[in-house]
Structure 1
């Protein structure tokens, strides 16, 4: 097990899952099941892993089945954040067969997708072992699914970056260009930002970093698309005065080397936009 997680209230997740169910059920429901399965047929099914991974989306899968039919009995055997092996049963569902069949695809889509994110995150985290670096996700998420995808990153042992544009100030290269330079954005932040709001600024050159350090006003510096040697120089320049975040061209092959530079955070959009879905199946 990576970590024990208190689940989010189902109420928060239900709108996301309800939308997915409505998309799948369409305007007239599961016509195949209604046509061929007698309405009072009862059955038991097992959600089975066809490959190893880290569980995520178990809560969402359970909600999907319950939204279709609150009378279904659902037993989660591998909670979110737990490892599982090939062939292991993750969940048992029993009750009306038609209800199970109608919720199957949405439940599997969420569980497979989110377990893929958690599994990929765990692989990234493993490559930082022995360093101070934390793996974080980004806002490069599937529209409408950010909440559950970011939860999957947590289940894999990673950490979350901003959930939305309103969480913290992150000054990127386009902000700097539009405002007329590093000095202008940092001056504006000092006069307008709440004292409760963290400030991060992106730089892609050591000269920019030197200007940020001289002017002050930031809490975190995002070191964008720097090679490993430049990252090390940047960390040495900062010398603990700011938190450092490496971002851009972050792959599993580079993680160990990036972490070794001494950065505090490594953000990777790949965790949510390039994770491979874990193969899960529902067997009656």
Structure 2
């Protein structure tokens, strides 16, 4: 039976959290973070007037090889959606997923689920909650938000069965890898996230439209193979990749410029 970790796995957790706080303070972010309590009730009239700035839907699959962990996996995604749902981010303020998911512990209601660590799958409490990070990154990217911190997964764990394109995934590890983005819009934005059946759905809404349009592209720059492994034996391992993600924004005057660009590495690994 696979052992399940119930506590955050990060060594020197308090030190890492302190360093993240110091970094945020030095960058001027620390007092700009929105609180999980920063929610406003939605009435029917306000809902009718809301403008969708960006939206993403991800259809998840039941993984037979995960057996009973599937229940925890879907439970954690659903709970993560409920934790961030309704959050209001005023102009210039910053969303940090760490402030919301924290350690994704049993005390918060999370269950054991799969988690990717150093190119392999382990089972840990809160596993699969990082799908919330992926949802939020994509809607923030599409809405031309300022991406302050984002991390991809260490490897392309699902291969051709991946649920989203490489470069558009975003992992979350308490004390080590966070998702942070700033509201660059001229009005409040609200996060709406939910899980219905096997579908994850997330939107950013506001009472004002974006002052332009965004275009997001990903490009595979390079294919990677394990050291010493010839490409003809690729069925024995999962390829790695170097991927570039680029976002351009065309404002109302017709001027287009790049507002996000990042190259990320997915390490190759042998299949056991």
After TM superposition, is the score higher than 0.5? no
TM-score, structure 2 as length reference: 0.24
Higher strand share: 2
Higher helix share: 1
